[in-house]
Every structure is written in structure tokens, then in C-alpha cells.
Amino acid sequence: MPLLTPSAVRKQIAAGNLDPIYLLQGEDEIEKSGLAGEFAAVVEEGLRAFNVERIHAGEMTTGDKLADGVASLAAALRTLPMMAPRRVVIVMQAETLFVPKRESEAAARALEELETLLEHPEPQATLVFVAAPLDKRVRIWKLLQKHATIVECGVIEDLTAAQQWVRARVAKDGVEIEPAAARLLGELAGFPAQARDRGPKGPGGNVARLRGEVDRLLLYALGEKKITIDDARQVAGPAALQDDWAIANAIEAGQAGEALRQLALTLDAGAPPEKILGQLAWLVRSKFPAIAAGDVRGAIDALFRTDLDLKRSAGDARVLLERLVVELCAGKRSRMAGRRW
């Protein structure tokens, strides 16, 4: 089956001419989710409640849950459309279906049934899988290549494409951006001047970081009709993005707001949560005995809890680190308040 761009898929949706199966994959969660939602447009608005169904596969973590999920998917696809030419079934977090987290006999049977659905698609339904990037070595990848239209979301090849993406994104909010400002954002997100300059693992740029920079810039320039290069430098200046120890320095200064801002920048730049946690552990070990001696034990407990939560996937990594940063800053501020008195 073909490999299409999101814009090509939107043309298919507008024409009402859909393929039987789609796989939307890539790093850009917002684009994937938005494109998946657009498939509902092939069904009249008043009939969507009967003909558009969403299935969330993220909680199908055991063999029995996986089997039940695939059975529900099969039933949804085989249900005849009501007063409409076809049904649309959207599966979010589909990577859980393709690569079960736990191997078992029930999970193996569920995967076999899923493969049957791919090999023999239902003529009255369109199936849309939304997934994280898949390892092309997994068992089901060849079937997806053969039977599904694969759509790569969030792929920006080079600096020129990044600038085009930025201009299109701000235009959605009715704003213009100076070419130099759009180029600066693309450069800071690491996109190469030409696609052939990218590394062996793909484009050198970070789409999530680019999106984050644009969103912050739009917030900064709220109410303005044109974003300038000076605006971009204020919000996404190199100094703010290149200081690996900016979070620790802000916590040491007791500046919670700045620490949270630097945490967001660092995560959007692609830094692993474990690296950030290691820097904060160094800060507590090396600095807290001098700047917040009374809070060392509490800070260590907070670090230990966050480390366990990250390892157990007991919450979103960004939220867990934000909570830790706030706790460390609170201890530093209370110590500084005691000194003033």
C-alpha cells in the first residue's frame, strides 16, 4: 500500500475516497490525533454517533484485555453503517495491539485475529490506527506495509520545510511571522540546511521542540498580527536553550517559575528524564547541605520517589519532574525566608 503525507490523506478525506486501512505513525502526537479526528468528516455530522467509533488500546496490557479489545474492534468493523456509506473506526495507541507488552497465549491469539482483520478488511468500514513509530522488525509490520496506507506524521526533512511548517502553524492563529524568525526557530530545533545533511537515524531536527517553541512564541505575541525576529529571540534565545544546568541553577536561586520554564525547554529539546533527574540528584548532594541543610532529607526522599515513579511509569515524566522541581524550590525558598528573618 502507498506511503502518503498528511496533506494527501486530507485530500482523500475531502473527496470521500478512503482506503480500507490507515496507519498514522510518528513523533508528532498532536498532528496524529488531529488527522485521525478528520476522518469523521466522511460521515454526516448527525450520523457520526452511529458510524464513528474510537477505541483506546493503551490499557490493553494483559492477554485477556488484548483479546477483548481485538474482539471489540472486529465487532465495530463488522457492524453495518447506519444511513451512511461507511463506518470509521479509530484505534488510538495502537502500538499496544501490534506489540503486546506481555507475551501470553491469549495475546498470541489476539494478534492472530488482528492479522486476519488486516488481511481481510471489511468493505463497509475504514480502520484508522494511530501509533507511535513502530520497529520495522516486529511481526506485524510486513502486513501493515502490504494492507495499510502508512502516513508519517511530524516528519520535517530540513530547515526549509521547518520554516514552512512554522509559517503554516502561526497562520492558523491569524498571525504572520518574519522569515528570519521562522528560520531561527528551525535552527534552534536542530533542522539541517538540506535533507541530505541529516544523520543516519533520520532528520536532525526535533519536531516536538519546534512545536513547543512556536506555541510559546504565539503565547508571548498574543494579540500581535506579526511575529518579529526580536520576538523569537526573546522567547527562544540560544542562551536559554543551551545551558544544560539552567534548571539546577534556577532551583539553587529559589526561582520556581524559571526552573519550570527551563525544565519545559529541556524536555522539549529531547533531553531524557533520567538525565534531568541525575542533575537534580547532583544538586541535592552537592549544594543543598550548604543552601538548605534542613531540607536535605526531604529532598532525597522526593528524588527517590520520583526515580521509582519514572521506573514504574507511574505517571507522565513531565508531571513527575515538575512536581519534584516545585518541591526542591519550596525547600530552598523556605530556607531563604528563614535567613531574611
Look up the CATH number of the domain holding residue 206: 1.10.8.60
Give the H or E element holding residue 223: none
**pLDDT at site 194:** 66
Q: Does residue 205 carry a pLDDT above 90?
A: no
How many domains in the chain? 3
Q: Does residue 80 carry a pLDDT above 60?
A: yes
The reply to whether 276 falls in a domain is: yes
Query: 12 with 46, same domain?
Result: yes
The reply to whether 340 falls in a domain is: no
Q: Which of 96-110, 219-233, 241-255 is least confident?
A: 241-255
Q: What proportion of the chain, given as a percentage, has pLDDT over 70?
A: 91
DSSP-derived secondary structure letter, 46 = G
Query: 182 with 143, same domain?
Result: no
Look up the CATH number of the domain holding residue 256: 1.20.272
Domain enclosing residue 222, as ranges: 159-240
Q: Does residue 24 carry a pLDDT above 70?
A: yes
The reply to whether 25 falls in a domain is: yes
- The Cα angle at residue 96 between residues 91 and 98, in degrees rounded to 5: 85
Query: Which stretches of 221-255 are DSSP H helices?
Result: 229-236, 238-242, 246-252
**pLDDT at site 67:** 92
**pLDDT at site 204:** 55
Look at residues 220, 240, 260 and tell me which one is the last residue of a structural domain.
240
For the chain, the average pLDDT equals 85
**pLDDT at site 47:** 95
* Burial annotation 128-163 (CB, 10 A radius, 16+ → b, else e): bbbbbebeeeeebbebbeebbbbbbbbbbbbbebbb
Query: 247 with 187, same domain?
Result: no
Q: Cα 60 vs. chain centroid, distance in angstroms? A: 20
Query: 141 with 10, same domain?
Result: yes
d(Cα 58, Cα 69) in Å, to the nearest integer? 10
With cut-offs at 50, 70 and 90, classify the pLDDT of residue 244. low
**pLDDT at site 226:** 94
Which pLDDT tens digit goes with each residue over 293-339? 788 888 899 999 999 888 887 778 889 999 999 989 876 544 444 44
Q: Does residue 45 carry a pLDDT above 80?
A: yes
Query: 30 with 121, same domain?
Result: yes
Query: Which stretches of the chain are DSSP H helices?
Result: 6-15, 29-38, 48-51, 63-78, 95-98, 105-119, 141-147, 159-171, 179-188, 207-220, 229-236, 238-242, 246-252, 256-268, 273-286, 288-291, 296-311, 317-340
